[in-house]
């Protein structure tokens, strides 16, 4: 069974949140969470990330002053597994998002689905967990998992921040539902394409259309639904000539 444990995230001297997580990549999770919450600005320098396993805390130190009392007063419990939390206005910063006119080939989608469905993971071994994969064209780059899909995405955001990786030519593939929170995080990370084997929420689709994000769900075998941003798609693969994926997969409802 998957084990979960608390992780308390500090920004400089201020406690921000305690998250339930499987405990891996705490530095990436903290950096990504703070970045996606708008608490780490683009021009801010991260001086260090200190993780204390015994105290179950991670402290992100920056060269700026941390004053987020007003932002922390407004807290939204999201629909994410393991109870996601968004501080401040959920839509804050989206009006400044300009996603690139990236290309998305259907051949890449089919190739990614086959590879990801066959990749050894906690998701396949135990269930009760979600995975998110950062991809470029038809190649998975980074696979992160957690009890909440929001945590898995935040870990990828932290990795991107640490490695100075741009999201403009990337695809985010997730096992979870395409909710408003997932779309917002992906847009703020600068990633123009979000793909899932699961379904959509109405607000998730509405926000994707608002920011120009390509949103693809129900990606199973040869079929998928695109409810936003279909103008990016290049239909270069005939589904009749795509082999059926016989790889092991678990139910999306676990």
Same structural domain, 114 and 218: yes
- pLDDT tens, 44-71? 899 999 999 999 999 999 987 766 655 6
Q: Does residue 162 lie within any of the structural domains?
A: yes
- pLDDT tens, 21-45? 999 999 999 999 999 888 887 778 9
Chain Cα centroid distance, residue 230: 21
- Domain holding 61: CATH number? 3.10.20.10
Q: How far apart are the first and last CA of the chain?
A: 12
Domain ranges, residue 58? 5-92
Sorted by sequence, the CB contacts under 8 Å of residue 64 that are 6+ apart come out as: 12, 41, 44, 45
Same structural domain, 108 and 218: yes
Same structural domain, 120 and 235: yes
Local structure of 227: helix, strand or coil: strand
* pLDDT band at residue 3 using 50, 70 and 90 as cut-offs: confident
Helices (H), the chain: 26-36, 69-73, 106-118, 122-126, 149-163, 180-188, 202-211
**Mean pLDDT calculated for residue range 126-155:** 89
Q: Does residue 31 lie within any of the structural domains?
A: yes
């Amino acid at each position: 069974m998957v084990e979960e444990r608390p992780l308390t995230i500090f920004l400089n001297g201020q406690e921000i949140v305690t998250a339930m997580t499987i405990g891996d990549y705490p530095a990436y999770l903290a950096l990504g969470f703070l970045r996606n919450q708008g608490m780490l600005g683009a021009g801010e320098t991260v001086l260090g990330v200190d993780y204390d396993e015994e105290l179950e805390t991670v402290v992100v130190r920056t060269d700026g002053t941390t004053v987020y009392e007003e932002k922390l007063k407004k807290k939204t419990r999201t629909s994410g597994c393991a109870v996601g939390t968004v501080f401040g206005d959920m839509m804050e910063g989206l009006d400044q998002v300009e996603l690139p006119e990236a290309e998305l080939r259907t051949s890449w989608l089919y190739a990614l689905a086959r590879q990801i469905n066959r990749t050894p993971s906690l998701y396949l071994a135990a269930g009760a967990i979600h995975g998110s994969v950062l991809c470029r064209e038809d190649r998975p780059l980074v696979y992160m998992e957690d009890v909440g899909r929001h945590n898995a995405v935040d870990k990828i955001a932290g990795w991107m921040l640490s490695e100075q990786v741009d999201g403009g030519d990337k695809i985010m593939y997730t096992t979870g539902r395409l909710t408003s929170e997932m779309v917002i995080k992906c847009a703020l990370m600068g990633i123009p394409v979000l793909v899932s084997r699961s379904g959509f929420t109405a607000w998730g689709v509405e926000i994707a259309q608002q920011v120009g994000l390509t949103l693809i769900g129900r990606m199973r075998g040869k079929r998928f639904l695109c409810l936003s941003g279909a103008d990016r798609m290049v239909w270069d693969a005939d589904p009749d000539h795509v082999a059926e994926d016989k790889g092991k997969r678990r139910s999306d409802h676990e």
